[in-house]
Structure 1
């Protein structure tokens, strides 16, 4: 997928919406709290938290849920993210 002009939070949200049709999805840019830390670029958009509730996650182990989210976000976008905290449930 080509690099988008959308903020990373919006890219993450759009990809997770498309993949999981969640009934609850919050994507938060936590980058400001990590400014100056190793791996935190000056422009931000590097540290994110995702809270998602979706029936599509039913029956998956915690590891499988995390892998599914990473796959849905895609390698190009994951490569631009330094840290991703996930709170996932069905």
Structure 2
């Protein structure tokens, strides 16, 4: 199971200049909430921002990462 630190580091490594705050919602290691702020989100729709974060995890979404709730913001 991924950890909150793992998700945070992966988001920040994949999206230049991003900062991420990740919380495990259930304590089970499969339902997370992430707030991600990144300069590259400027000018993107919220859907495009979310797709950018989900792309970091690919097929893990719906698998080991059963749920990932996102709040995204342009920096």
For Structure 1 versus Structure 2, the TM-score category normalised by the shorter chain is 0.7 to 0.9
Compare the two structures and name the one with the higher strand fraction.
Answer: 2
What is residue 16 of structure 1 aligned with on the other side? 11
TM-score w.r.t. the length of structure 1 is 0.69
Deviation at 1:7, TM superposition (A): 4.1
User: Unpaired segments of 5 or more residues in structure 2?
Assistant: none
Runs of 4+ in 1 over 2 A off after TM superposition: none
**Are 1:59 and 2:54 matched, yes or no?**
no
The answer on 1:50 being equivalent to 2:45 is no
Contact 2:2 2:30 in 1 (8 A): no
Partner Cα distance (2:23, 2:38) in 1: 18
Deviation at 1:69? 0.5
Q: What are the Cα deviations for residues 11-70 of structure 1, in whole angstroms up to 9, with x where unaligned?
A: 211111112221x320000114xxxxxxxxxxx111110011110111111111111101
Unmatched 5+ stretches in structure 1: 1-5, 33-43
- Cα root mean square deviation, aligned: 1.7
